[in-house]
Structure 1
């Protein structure tokens, strides 16, 4: 795994809860807690890391949820892109969230998804595409990521 190993502090943070009900380092919005990584990894590594934190790559179920995540990334994020939890790895062009749930809400950047060279199968929010609009991207490339944990 190419992710940088974190110190013992991460273990402490992952198991310690703040007063709002979310683990420390996570940010609450409605019934979910979100963690915006400062480390990078491939899509698979990001998904694995989120599972380690007892969460999953973020899913977007509504415009309000997307607006919160996007707004936080615009205001506080320093990453050029963030992996979130959807792909079309099973069937080209059929984008599904983790758990094989169909995407009901999307905010694609204009012209996306374009499957650039027929190898872009994982979902990211890209800063230079309309300030974190959605983009399909190469799963093996590295990026930051957003984990979500339901309360």
Structure 2
């Protein structure tokens, strides 16, 4: 999928450069993206987001996102996190929803899907992450009760989950005039 995306970008860039070098016309690249029903478009990332329709454990939520054609989401920026918070608040102002981050492998070493090889983007609520008695809280959620920030939670607890998938985008080169 990565190579197809790169090839498409190279082909579009080559076409644009050829058009501009010709000096005959001005052109503009237009991008139109859309999402399936019940998914919300995040324009800047060209991705579609939604919450699972029901609550699940962290592992089951991850599978549910895959069954819906996406994967569990983990925000990579404050802008993306705020978009996800607003999406959740539209469904339920008291939302609690899993994100694709955990420290299951090594306690205290947080990993987020899609952020491998870099420091994960985690905006913890005050006092988080923590442990609940002697029970390790290995999975991450965002919640209204956590000031719309992240906290660690028992992975077996049932919660909604944020899911993400690629938007369907079409690219076209539009001539503006001579």
- Matching residue of 1:49: 64
> Normalising by the residue count of structure 2, what TM-score does the alignment of the two structures yield?
0.68
Q: Which has the larger radius of gyration?
A: 2
> Normalising by the residue count of structure 1, what TM-score does the alignment of the two structures yield?
0.79
Determine the C-alpha separation between the residues in 2 that align with 1:38 and 1:28: 17
Moved over 6 A (4+): none
Is the CA contact 2:38–2:50 (under 8 Å) kept in the aligned structure 1?
yes
1:83 to 74, 89, 98: 98
5+ residue gaps, structure 2: 1-31, 168-178
Question: Residues 73-112 of structure 1: matches in 2 within 5 Å?
Answer: 73-74=88-89, 76-78=90-92, 80-98=95-113, 101=116, 102-112=118-128
What secondary structure, in the 3-state scheme, does the structure 2 residue paired with 1:111 have?
coil
Residues 1:140 and 2:153 are matched in the alignment: no
Between Structure 1 and Structure 2, which shows a larger proportion of strand residues?
2
Residues 1:121 and 2:123 are matched in the alignment: no
1:68 to 78, 83, 103: 83
- Matching residue of 1:22: 35
Query: Root-mean-square deviation (CA), in Å?
Result: 1.8
User: Aligned pair count?
Assistant: 131
Is 115-124 or 49-58 further displaced after alignment?
Answer: 115-124
